[in-house]
Amino acid sequence: MKDLKEKFKGTIFGLAIGDALGAPYEQFSLEQFRSLADDILDSYSSSDLYGLQPGEYTDDTDMSLCTIEALVENSYLDIDAISDKFVSWFQTDPKDIGRTTSAALHEISKGTPSHEASEMVADEFSAGNGAAMRIAPIALFNYKNTPETLCQNIIDVSLITHHHKDAVGGALAIGLLIYFNLHDPDKRENFNKLISSSALIKDEDLIRRIKAVPGLSKEDLIPDGYIINTLNTVLFHFLKYDNTIEAIQSVIKLGGDTDTNASIIGSLMGSIYGMKNIPPYYTDNLQNNEKIRVLIDKLYEVAVNDKIFY
C-alpha cells in the first residue's frame, strides 16, 4: 500500500507543482520561451500577470483542494458541499479563475442550483478544461469503487460549473486514466483501457480523438484551454515521458494555457510514478505544502481505509 500512498501524493503534488510552475507563463508563445534561459523552469518564478509569488498556485489547485476538503469533511461525495466550497473560494476574489467557472459560481452564489447554473451559462466557449483540471481528487476518492461509480461522480462534480459535453467528456477521460494508473503500473496498458472505455465515456467522437493521440507529433499540439486540445497535449506527454518534472516543463514550454495543462499532466504523471521523480525542492517551496500533505493523508485514509473524519 506504500506505493499507492505515493501515487496519491504524486497525483495532488504533481497537479499543484504543474500549476505553480506554469502560472507565470500563461499565454506565453514558443518564441517567448526561446528567449528565456534553458533552466528557467528548474525553479518557481513570480507572475506579473496575476501577482503570484514563486511557488504560488492558482485556481486549478485551489478548486482541487476545495474538493478534497469537502470529501474528507463528509467522508462521502456531497455535491452541495463541494459546490459550497467552490462558492466560498470564489467569494475571496481569486487571482485567477476561468470564465465559465466564474459565471457558474456567480449564479450559484445568487442561489441557483449548481447544475442549473452551469447549464444557464453554457455556450460554445464553455468546452474548456476547467472541469478536468480539478477532477483528480474524485479519481483518488473512488479508488475502491467501480469505474461506473467513478464516472457518475465525475459527471456530477463536473456539472457544478461545466455543462458542455466536451468539458464533461474530458474530465471523464482524465479521471479514468488516473483511476487506471492507481490500479496498474503499466501506463501504455492504462491508455489502452481508456480508449476501450466507450461504454463509460459514451462519446465515440472523443474516443476516436484519444485513439489518435499516439500518432500526433509535438507540432500538432495546440496548448490552449479547449479541452480537446488539452487532452491531446497532456496525453501526448503522458505517453512520451517517464519523468514528471520533465513532462511538466515540456508542456509549459508549449505556451498557451500553461498552468492548467501543466497541472493536468502533473496529476497524470504523479498517478503512475508517485513522488519518485519529483525533487524535494518542488514540494518544499510550494505554497501551503504542509496543508496539502495533511489533506492528501486524509483523502487517502477516507478512500482506502474507510476512515471517517469528524
Q: Which three cell numbers stand for residue 256?
A: 498557451
Cell 465525475 identifies what position? 154
Residue 219 is assigned to a structural domain of this protein: yes
Query: Is 90:97 a contact under the CB 8 Å cutoff?
Result: yes
- Answer yes or no: is 44 within a domain: yes
Cα-only R_g, the chain? 18
User: How do residues 118-144 score in pLDDT, each as one tens digit?
Assistant: 999 988 889 999 999 999 999 999 999
310 occurs within a structural domain: no
Question: What pLDDT, on a 0 to 100 scale, did the predictor assign at position 53?
Answer: 96
In the chain, DSSP finds a helix count (H) and a strand count (E) of 17, 0
In a domain, 290, yes or no: yes
Query: pLDDT tens digits for 242-255?
Result: 999 999 999 999 99
| 230: number of Cβ within 10 Å | 28
124 within a domain of the structure (yes/no): yes
Helix (H, G, I), strand (E, B) or coil at 83: helix
26 is a domain residue: yes
CATH number at residue 174: 1.10.4080.10
123 within a domain of the structure (yes/no): yes
Does residue 109 lie in a domain region?
Answer: yes
Average pLDDT taken over every residue of the chain: 94
Beta partners for 226? 128
Report the largest interatomic distance among the alpha carbons of the chain, rounded to a whole angstrom.
52
Query: Residue 149's domain spans which residues?
Result: 2-305
Rounded percentage of the chain residues whose pLDDT exceeds 90: 86
Structural domains of the chain, count: 1
pLDDT of residue 68: 98
pLDDT surpasses 60 at 310: no
What are the b/e assignments for 233-244, b being 16+ CB within 10 Å?
bbbbbbeebeeb
> 175-212: per-residue pLDDT in tens?
999 999 999 999 999 999 999 999 999 999 999 999 99
Least confident piece of the model among 24-33, 85-94, 158-167:
24-33
Closest to 14 in 3D by CA, of 257, 214, 279, 226: 279
Q: What is the rounded CA–CA span in Å between residue 63 and residue 94?
A: 11
What does the pLDDT average to over 277-288?
A: 97
Give per-residue pLDDT as tens, 3-23: 999 999 999 999 999 999 999
34, amino acid identity: R
pLDDT at 1 over 80: no
Q: How confident is the model at residue 152 (pLDDT cuts 50, 70, 90)?
A: very high
